[in-house]
Amino acid sequence: MPLLGILAAAVLAACGSEAAPSAAMPAPQVSVATVLSEPVQRWDEFTGRVSAVDSVELRPRVSGYVQRVAFVEGEDVRKGELLYVIDPRPYRAALDQAQAQLERARSEASLAAAQNARARTLIEAKAISREDFESRTAASRQGNAAVRAAEAAVAAARLDLQFTEVRSPIDGRAGRVLVTAGNLAQADATLLTTVVSQDPVYVDFEADERAWLRYGQQSSDGAQAVAHNPVQVGLVSEDGYPHAGTVASVDNQVDPGTGTIRARARIPNPDRVLMPGLFARVRLAGTGTAQALLVDDKAVLTDQDRKYLYVLGADNTAQRRDVSLGPVVNGLRVIDSGLKPGDKVIVNGLQKVFMPGMPVAPKVVAMRAATRTGAEAAVAQR
């Protein structure tokens, strides 16, 4: 009996302890913000390279042995500053010889001129023959021609002597010393060093056909539509695009191999940060101001090759919307398609949304406030 009583009590306890219905999970709290509709300046993003406005490969104009290197590698040089000295002694001797030849020619020309003057007097008195007179006249003219030739030789020798001092043709920064003192430098052949200008600089980039055709819709001449447009440039190590300039030129044809057209921006570089050869990120103001829909960029999610957002449905559920993205403007992402004005986008708490149609508890915030809050949270995590 005691065993039967225990079994009966266990059965009654089991029947009386039916599992209570599990309480429904509360809807997760999320922050939602209304899509902004604002006029924005549309920017197109490209990649490019920094190049110098002026770049010179410095070569001597006379041959000779390098006597002195007069600059420091990597330093700024001014136009006309001495960089190299070629041994001037042979060229100084050649100048002295040319000047001596000039003095001789002038002396001979003076004698010929005097003889010609006497011959003119004698021919009038019929004291000499016509042949002698013409001979002395020709000798005087030859003497004058010899003087001019000697003067030209002196000028050439003086130039050669000047060319023994190799000077910078531009303001810029000198490169490596490629030929040191004691080495032979051949005229117009031996590369001594390079000099590149520093301020301003060019940034060369290539625009794709689609962007180019869009620019052409603004004008019958796409190059004129882009010329002088604002350009913003940023380096790999920089946030955003801190360097500003304008489009300087656009090429005259599209490259059929790549489907791109080359353009060049002119950027002031007073602090010498933009060094020729550096990779650069380029933003070009290619179209006018237009109305655009803007959302916080961190609200955009990725599903393989698709971009989508969660918007708040009428019954406080998270609804998926596939979208097409534009550029980032003032910290907000432009949405080209997939949203409409007035939509409320989930901007915070996305990790709590596991599937479309899931109920949520929305808390309305401002879109720009949500952007600032996300940035502050990211800084705090660092």
State the CATH number of the domain containing residue 172: 2.40.50.100
Q: Which amino acid is at 155?
A: A
Lowest mean pLDDT across 57-71, 226-240, 273-287, 358-372:
358-372
The reported pLDDT for the residue numbered 153 is 93
Rounded to an integer, what distance in angstroms lies between the CA atom of residue 368 and that of residue 299? Answer: 12
The reported pLDDT for the residue numbered 339 is 86
136 lies in the same domain as 219: no
Task: Quickly state the pLDDT bin for 16 (edges 50, 70, 90).
Answer: very low
Give the chain's mean pLDDT. 82
Q: Look at residue 4 and tell me whether its pLDDT is greater than 90.
A: no
Q: Look at residue 42 and tell me whether its pLDDT is greater than 80.
A: no
223 lies in the same domain as 203: yes
212 lies in the same domain as 112: no
Indicate the burial class of 350 (C-beta count within 10 angstroms; 0-12, 13-18, 19 or more).
middle
Rounded to an integer, what distance in angstroms lies between the CA atom of residue 31 and that of residue 332? Answer: 16
Lowest mean pLDDT across 131-140, 214-223, 300-309:
214-223
133-160 residue pLDDT tens: 777 788 888 888 988 999 999 999 999 9
129 lies in the same domain as 154: yes
* Dihedral of the alpha carbons of 217, 222, 228, 233, in degrees to the nearest 10: 90
Which of 362 and 165 is assigned the larger pLDDT?
165
Q: Look at residue 381 and tell me whether its pLDDT is greater than 50.
A: no
209 lies in the same domain as 150: no
Q: Which amino acid is at 365?
A: V
224 lies in the same domain as 289: yes
Please identify, among 146, 175, 196, the residue that sits at the C-terminal boundary of a domain. Answer: 196
Region 65-81: mean pLDDT is 92
Q: Considering the domain boundaries, does residue 158 fall inside one?
A: yes
Query: Is the separation of the CB atoms in 253 and 267 below 8 Å?
Result: no
151 lies in the same domain as 236: no
Task: Quickly state the pLDDT bin for 224 (edges 50, 70, 90).
Answer: low
Task: Quickly state the pLDDT bin for 168 (edges 50, 70, 90).
Answer: very high
Region 305-312: mean pLDDT is 88
Rounded to an integer, what distance in angstroms lies between the CA atom of residue 103 and that of residue 150? Answer: 8
Q: What is the CATH number of the domain that holds 313?
A: 2.40.30.170
140 lies in the same domain as 69: no
Query: Is the separation of the CB atoms in 76 and 172 below 8 Å?
Result: yes
In which domain, by residue range, is 77 found?
60-86+164-196
Task: Quickly state the pLDDT bin for 185 (edges 50, 70, 90).
Answer: very high
Task: Quickly state the pLDDT bin for 176 (edges 50, 70, 90).
Answer: very high
Q: Look at residue 22 and tell me whether its pLDDT is greater than 60.
A: no
177 lies in the same domain as 292: no
What is the token pair recorded at 48?
């490019």
211 lies in the same domain as 281: yes
Share of the chain above pLDDT 70, in %: 85
Which of 347 and 289 is assigned the larger pLDDT?
347
Q: Who contacts 319 (Cβ-Cβ below 8 Å, separation ≥6)?
A: 310, 311, 312, 313, 356, 357
Which of 130 and 283 is assigned the larger pLDDT?
283
Q: Considering the domain boundaries, does residue 299 fall inside one?
A: yes
Burial string for 181-215 (b: 16+ CB within 10 Å, else e) reads eeeebeeeebebbbbbbbebbbbbbbbeeebbebb
Q: Considering the domain boundaries, does residue 250 fall inside one?
A: yes
Query: Is the separation of the CB atoms in 167 and 78 below 8 Å?
Result: no
Q: Look at residue 19 and tell me whether its pLDDT is greater than 60.
A: no
Task: Quickly state the pLDDT bin for 31 (edges 50, 70, 90).
Answer: confident
Q: Considering the domain boundaries, does residue 103 fall inside one?
A: yes
218 lies in the same domain as 356: yes
The reported pLDDT for the residue numbered 216 is 65
The reported pLDDT for the residue numbered 222 is 47
Please identify, among 176, 196, 216, the residue that sits at the C-terminal boundary of a domain. Answer: 196
The reported pLDDT for the residue numbered 121 is 79
Task: Quickly state the pLDDT bin for 67 (edges 50, 70, 90).
Answer: very high
Domain count, the chain: 3
82 lies in the same domain as 123: no
Taking the CB of residue 330, how many other CB atoms lie within 10 A of it?
A: 10
H-type alpha helices, the chain: 2-16, 89-124, 130-163, 209-216, 222-226, 367-381
Q: What is the CATH number of the domain that holds 110?
A: 1.10.287
